[in-house]
A and B are shown apart, each in its own frame.
Chain A
């Protein structure tokens, strides 16, 4: 018995020593890359990127860890002081994480920053420092159901459309379908980010440039919200739940609305889920005075301030967002668009020319990012907007209350 024990022990020891020896000989650095999973196709593309990286840098080993409930998971990892080396950073989370000091500053370390869309560089610049290289981005555009427009004898929406055209078309397209269900002209989710383009188109803003003053309480804001709420109160538009859908893309795919305002995520959703749907894309309508605007949603690769292998981590982040690295994703033609201007053509070639409006509007896209603690303001607005849709609150009161909430958050 004892002999057997001794033998096992010796074998184990030998294994451990040889293993350690091998690791010592290769001198590899191990990195953990944490993110969330959007689709199997995108995960595969990321894995291919990472494999190509490990071939190019044999001394760095990368473990990809895509987790559900990402925000909670990574916050716990930050708080414990043992975060992943490289991880996704949503634009809306950047201020919180930069303030908390968990992000390494990339100003000196990000390669070829001029090749990115400058609007994206601005999104990930906080207090004058460029924190992380953008991974990809999405913009909001107008999707329209061609069959419904044909049936109503209307011309398809164009980039020259104004609010008035949108309203007139929404009115004409509202009705009932074969099954007697309500069909609305436009789906208007009760969310701050869906309304913001209208605010920006009207020339309004939420905060001033350096986030020190609230500028929301303005005639432009009231005009924009009255227009948005007016569509609903007059019955030409409604939230997704009014047409039995969970979100705008579903309402559009099911044919319960003629137009939707979604971002790039809607592309693969509609192509895979509703292959027979006959639909097109154009820019959001402009304010009658000509003001154009939309929203951009984007994610970057952050490097942890607490990472033990920061140099290797930056090598990885830079590789994934370089022209060579990002091209691998761009050529797959997913919904989301590559962060570098030079790759726009590769994406269009893979995805199709008809999706060009998503790229065209990048110039007028505003960032989806507010100061720390702004969730309280967004919730105040969304709650007010829902009541306004029901006719239980006035747009001007919603604007007033939201502005007051913003004042309070800024003064915290």
Chain B
């Protein structure tokens, strides 16, 4: 024991010297990535935070004297107040506030519609293409993944062809659904009516019959406006997004599915579990971390939806596809208000952050149960 101790110590010192060297080498390998990370991520984020407290128009040379003024939190209050008080008078929301809450409403419907559907469908597809009995697996996996690797702009343009009023989708529907013809075609790309409003209308609930709450303003919009649901056009963009993102999520699920050891399934089968029980009790619990990952990716991606809106609708018709991310672009480049655009982006970041944390907590609690 006594003789062995120094030898061990010596070994430790050489290890630590070696380790230091390794650390140095490791660091030097990381430096290029770190520099890129700093220049293209950390500095821009810092700049966005800084600009959000100014009235910079986004045009004047930013490093020149007098290009912008520091205006405190004015941009944030421009966005967030549902009302503002002028003396003792309550003034209704300004355009910017209304637009922000419209964008928020649209974005929420978008997220609530897209994330659960794309996660469920992706899981379903992954389970299907993971089946041993399935033939031409490679073909199906490629086919389902293909939309994800195609440019979203190109896909949006193709969707526009398919969904125009006289396009393929309506023609296909007309040949299947009785009573659906060119006279009552749905105008997929240019219909501002809310889907929930349309459904309520079927049950006789309209703005007029809804009662006083419908006219009540909450955060700049009336109660009736809040419950509109996505417009028909936003619904089209939602379908497009679900279709394009399913592939990526399917691949992630597939990788996780193949990580589940076969003997677990075998044991379940021997115990007499049927296919649904196996899926419910074995597959889903073992996939929990993956589900968390996919839902997080989905949340972040959907909250940031921009390119499809930019290509297909530019926020219209009647602002029903105006999303928060599109509003950032609009304020920065159409409205000469880069400070406001930065503030909008920061608010969007906070929203995504809060939702990711919330979702993490929920998944953890369910895992504990």
Contacts and interface: CB of A to CB of B under 8 A. Distances in A.
Nearest to B64: A81
A373 interface: yes
B318 interface: yes
B336 A96 contact: yes
Interface in B151-206: 160, 164-167, 182-183, 187, 189-190, 192-193
A379 B334 CA distance: 11
Given A96-B59, A241-B187, A72 B333 contact: yes
Interface string B92-114: 00111001000000000000000
B336 A244 contact: no
Given A181-B166, A181-B182, A372-B336, A386 B62 contact: no
> Which of B59, B317, B336 has the most chain A CB atoms closer than 10 A to its own CB?
B59
A37 interface: no
B299 to A, nearest CB: 27
Nearest to B60: A100
Interface in A373-388: 373, 375-376, 379-380, 382-384, 386-387
A326 B204 CA distance: 63
Contact of A408 (B58, B94, B335): B94
Interface in A354-412: 372-373, 375-376, 379-380, 382-384, 386-387, 390, 392, 405, 408-409
A78 interface: yes
A380 B316 CA distance: 11
B164 A78 contact: no
Nearest to B57: A100
Contacts of A243: 165
A79 interface: yes
B182 A390 contact: no
Contacts of A373: 335-337
A190 B313 CA distance: 13
Contact of B333 (A71, A97, A239): A71
B101 to A, nearest CB: 14
B318 A386 contact: yes
A383 B190 CA distance: 11
Interface of A is mostly: helix
Interface string A51-75: 0000000000000000000011001
A280 interface: no
Nearest to A102: B59
B336 A100 contact: yes
B61 interface: yes
Contacts of A387: 192, 318
Contact of A81 (B62, B160, B193): B62
A56 B106 CA distance: 57
A110 to B, nearest CB: 22
A242 interface: yes
A101 interface: yes
> Which of A375, A379, A390, A392 has the most chain B CB atoms closer than 10 A to its own CB?
A379
Contacts of B192: 383, 386-387, 390, 392
Contacts of A372: 336
B333 A180 contact: no
- Interface residues on chain B, size class: 35 or more
A42 interface: no
Contacts of A379: 99, 315, 319
Nearest to B335: A375
A39 interface: no
Contact of A390 (B165, B193, B330): B193
A212 interface: no
Contact of A79 (B58, B182, B317, B319): B58
Nearest to A240: B190
Contacts of B167: 244
Contacts of A244: 164-167
Contact of A80 (B61, B95, B335, B336): B61
Interface in B106-145: none
A213 interface: no
Given A382-B316, A383-B316, A387-B318, A239 B60 contact: no
A79 B337 contact: no
- Interface residues on chain A, size class: 35 or more
A79 B316 contact: no
B63 interface: yes
B95 A376 contact: yes
Interface in B323-341: 330, 333-337
Contacts of B95: 376, 380, 405, 408-409
A97 B189 contact: no
Contact of B57 (A99, A306, A376): A99
B333 A79 contact: no
A182 interface: yes
A398 to B, nearest CB: 11
B96 to A, nearest CB: 7
Interface string B15-59: 000000000000000000000000000000000000000000111
Contact of B63 (A78, A81, A180, A182): A81
A184 to B, nearest CB: 13
Interface in A182-235: 182, 190
A375 B57 CA distance: 14
Nearest to B165: A244
A92 to B, nearest CB: 10
A75 B59 contact: yes
A182 B187 CA distance: 14
A241 B165 contact: yes
A246 to B, nearest CB: 8
Nearest to B63: A81
Contacts of B337: 373
A373 B193 CA distance: 28
A373 B339 CA distance: 13
B334 A375 contact: yes
A409 B77 CA distance: 16
Contact of A242 (B62, B94, B99, B187): B187
Contacts of A81: 61-64
A71 B333 CA distance: 8
A190 B334 CA distance: 19
B191 to A, nearest CB: 8
A97 B99 CA distance: 24
A102 B167 CA distance: 45
25 contacts: A75-B59, A78-B60, A78-B61, A79-B62, A80-B62, A100-B57, A100-B59, A100-B60, A101-B60, A180-B182, A182-B182, A241-B165, A241-B187, A241-B190, A244-B164, A372-B336, A373-B336, A373-B337, A376-B95, A376-B96, A376-B99, A379-B319, A382-B318, A383-B318, A386-B318
Closest 8 A/B residue pairs (Cβ) = A244-B166, A81-B61, A100-B59, A241-B190, A383-B318, A244-B165, A100-B60, A386-B318
Given A75-B59, A75-B333, A96-B59, 14 more contacts: A78-B60, A79-B61, A182-B183, A241-B164, A241-B190, A244-B165, A244-B166, A375-B334, A376-B99, A380-B95, A383-B319, A386-B316, A390-B192, A390-B193
